[in-house]
Structure 1
Amino acid sequence: MAVSSRWGVARLLLSSVPFRAAFLVRVAQYAPPVARKTIAAVNLTLHGIDVDPRASLGPGLLLQHPVGVVIGGGAVVGARCTIMSGAVLGRQSIHSGSDPNGYPKLGDNVLLGTGATVLGDTRIGNHGTIGAKSLVIRDVRAGATVVGIPARETGSLNQSAQKVVRSAPSEPNA
């Protein structure tokens, strides 16, 4: 679809639910303190996403299908992370109060699959992948892929690259 004017670009961006949800998350983060909770409540009402404005979110965040995403106040999300629908980043215990050390910390380029839950003072390394419906309560090393309840490592970025290279079809004989 060709966009012929600035208004066309604005209309295109505003019709994108992931863009609108991420935009309101950013507005809530930089709004005056009295308006933060109101903007977050509007985002929850319009898009079904509950992000505490105190969460630290890196640049390039992609909220793909943002319905059901919950990000607690002390969570740290690195640059260029992708969070799918229903993912949760929160405390492991209700007794940890507002301690920011009780929340997950994601590195850069992390993918959280649909319904993935990361709880407690857990660190996910750069380029980590958390599979759908996985429950992560332990640290995940950089480049690793984890799945299951509780999440267990099934591979790493280097192993995946090697599998792709090995499974490439050979040239047909002419």
Structure 2
Amino acid sequence: MFETLAQDITRNLADYQPKSRWKGWLLTLTLNSTQAVTLIRLQFWMARHGLPTLPVAKILFWMFKIEVSRHAYIGPGLRLPHPMGIIIGPWSHVGANCDLYADVRLVLAHGVRQGPSLGDGVFMGDGAKAVGPVRIGKGTVVGVSAVVTRDLPEGVTAAGSPPEFWVRINKPSCHEHSGRLSVSAVSPGSGHLPEDLSPSEGSGVRTHR
């Protein structure tokens, strides 16, 4: 628990860059994000050791309106920049170093006992939702209020409801010096694509060359 919690706290403190140990401890004790991840890890620890989780779960809900199922899995490095109104339902899987903003929902679909699965480094913006046994690939960004009901590949950006997809690829020929990324919009099922879009092998989406 403590090693995982330490990774969570490190990621949540990264934006503040405390310059001294005492300041780091002060932020750890007072930030909403560090308080929330501490309660979440404590809830999981108690569940693993057969202890009642209801008291911790109620404190987490009263303070932050966050609900996390004891049957969910959350990898190390969880970052909650605005920990309010988050729901992580049963049998959901959250990979390492994920960012979940306010009002994110990872919930079951009706009649299906399998929750969403987030790969490592997934970013879920405010109000983003994943419903049912969907898989969101490593490093994917889900925009504000997007509702994901089908799988997303690795390294894309999805926005809207239903989401439209943007595939992020490097353009070394013209942007290598700045490290900028090229982004291209693809609307699933629209039947219309710009001329310079071509299929990306095995991804089910399209990329800008």
TM-score of Structure 1 vs Structure 2, range by shorter chain:
0.7 to 0.9
CA distance in 1, matches of 2:68, 2:159: 24
Structural mapping, 1:81-96, within 5 Å? 81-93=98-110, 95-96=111-112
Structure 2 match to 1:139: 151
Structure 1 match to 2:205: none
Structure 1 match to 2:34: 19
CA distance in 2, matches of 1:45, 1:21: 11
Displacement after TM superposition at 1:156 (Å): 1.9
Question: Is the counterpart of residue 156 in structure 1 residue 167 in structure 2?
Answer: yes
Residue 25 of structure 1 aligns with an amino acid whose one-letter code is: I
Gap change, CA 1:166 and 1:11, over 3 Å in 2: closer
Residue 54 of structure 2 aligns with an amino acid whose one-letter code is: K
- Residues 48-91 of structure 1: CA deviation (Å, up to 9, x unaligned): 21111221000001011010111002100000000000110001
Residue 112 of structure 1 aligns with an amino acid whose one-letter code is: M
Question: Is the counterpart of residue 124 in structure 1 residue 136 in structure 2?
Answer: yes
- Residues 10-54 of structure 1: CA deviation (Å, up to 9, x unaligned): 332110100110110000001143421221111111122111122
Displacement after TM superposition at 1:167 (Å): 10
Contact kept, 8 Å, 2:140 with 2:155, in 1: the verdict is yes
Structural mapping, 1:51-70, within 5 Å? 51-70=68-87
CA distance in 2, matches of 1:108, 1:2: 28
Structure 1 match to 2:7: none
- Secondary structure class of the residue paired with 1:157: strand
- Secondary structure class of the residue paired with 2:106: strand
- Secondary structure class of the residue paired with 1:59: coil
Contact kept, 8 Å, 1:40 with 1:53, in 2: the verdict is no
Unaligned runs of 5+ in 2: 1-17, 179-209
- Secondary structure class of the residue paired with 1:73: coil
Structure 2 match to 1:103: 115
Gap change, CA 1:4 and 1:117, over 3 Å in 2: closer
Tell me which of 43, 50, 53 is aligned to 1:28: 43
Residue 158 of structure 2 aligns with an amino acid whose one-letter code is: V
Residue 28 of structure 1 aligns with an amino acid whose one-letter code is: Q
CA distance in 2, matches of 1:15, 1:81: 22
Q: Percent identity?
A: 28
Contact kept, 8 Å, 1:61 with 1:82, in 2: the verdict is yes
Unaligned runs of 5+ in 1: 169-174
More helix by share: 1
Tell me which of 39, 52, 63 is aligned to 1:46: 63
- Residues 106-151 of structure 1: CA deviation (Å, up to 9, x unaligned): 0000000100010000000000110000000000000011111111
Displacement after TM superposition at 1:166 (Å): 7.9
- Secondary structure class of the residue paired with 1:62: coil
Aligned residues between the structures: 158
Residue 41 of structure 1 aligns with an amino acid whose one-letter code is: K
Residue 85 of structure 2 aligns with an amino acid whose one-letter code is: G
